[in-house]
Structure 1
Amino acid sequence: MSAIYVDADACPVKAEAERVATRHKLTMYVVSNGGIRPSPNPLVETVIVPDGPDVADMWIAERAGRGDVVVTGDIPLAAKCVASGARVLRHNGEALTEANIGNQLATRDLMTDLRAADPFRQGGGRPFSKADRSRFLDALEREVRVALQA
């Protein structure tokens, strides 16, 4: 395994990902278009990309591949990373794989259409919980171990 890539904009689990990266002595790329405080950890590289739609996603998608783990809530980015052989986790610990990414893309597209059809539709999921954080930490540890064996 070469690295952990974190799509850092609005990512609630950067600290947990850094703990796992440090434990396994892996490079971790924290990618955003700014506003992220750099970590003093020598294994963590903060990558600031130019402003623009999906610039951080493109940076990650161009580099992540087999043996890497990507942390993102962005489904199109996840699909690209899964296609390139990377292991992908959402912030809540849910693994995105070849088996489920098609469904995830379809659901995302459906929800986008529903929101566009009803501008008063107030969405938003439940708040991010301690259980979500714990589930993510366990899932990332598991994915890193699998990736290290690949």
Structure 2
Amino acid sequence: MSAADDPGTEPPQGPTLWVDADACPRPVKDILFRAADRTGIALILVANQPISVPRRRNIRALCVAPGLDAADQEIVRRCRPGDLVVTADIPLAAEVVERGATAVNPRGVLYTRENVRQQLSLRDFMSDLRGAGIDTGGPSGFGERDRQAFARQLDRWLARLPKV
């Protein structure tokens, strides 16, 4: 395990971009890499398996032990108020929003204290339908509109950061 993957390394100073990287679409990662290059903000991709990231001082990959929700738990443990967490996992989004972080999904949907509970209820309802054997379909393919919506949300978050 390299220092970039070492969970014991010192936490970054200032706001951090955390990515639930196991299911994050490649175009979203590319946007995040460019934003981290442009701004110097810390970007940490958390996954259950080793992932490749650009060799930059402010970009790290954190590989956690295999297991259900291990990456989510690590993000919850490490995120702080003011950080941004990129995830499609609604329970993870609910937890980080509760901790004072901002959460956005890869399609650009911003999770708030107001809407994340509604999202959780809808997720549970759809899960119940699937459990009853009802085909609920799946999400549409990730496209250009999704990429643009995510980039806009990221730009809004970055614009609110204190200028150094």
- What range is the shorter-chain TM-score in? over 0.9
**TM-score for the superposition, normalised by structure 1:** 0.92
Aligned to 1:70: 85
CA distance in 2, matches of 1:37, 1:127: 23
Aligned to 1:6: 19
The answer to whether the aligner puts 1:31 opposite 2:46 as a matched pair is yes
Structure showing greater relative contact order (alpha-carbon pairs closer than 8 Å, 6 or more residues apart): 1
4+ residue runs over 6 A deviation: none
RMSD: 1.5
| C-alpha displacement of 1:147 | 4.4
Out of 138, 146, 150, the position equivalent to 2:160 is 146
User: What is the SS of the residue equivalent to 1:100?
Assistant: helix
| C-alpha displacement of 1:21 | 2.1
CA distance in 2, matches of 1:132, 1:21: 20
Superposed CA deviations along residues 22-77 of structure 1, whole A, max 9, x for unmatched, are 22211100000115223222211100000000000000011112110000000000
User: What is the SS of the residue equivalent to 1:6?
Assistant: strand
Counterparts of 1:19-98 in structure 2 under 5 Å?
19-98=34-113
CA distance in 1, matches of 2:54, 2:126: 35
**TM-score for the superposition, normalised by structure 2:** 0.85
Check whether the contact 1:68–1:147 (CA below 8 A) recurs between aligned residues.
Answer: no
- Aligned residue pairs total 148
CA distance in 1, matches of 2:123, 2:43: 27
Corresponding letter in the other structure for 2:156: R
The answer to whether the aligner puts 1:124 opposite 2:124 as a matched pair is no
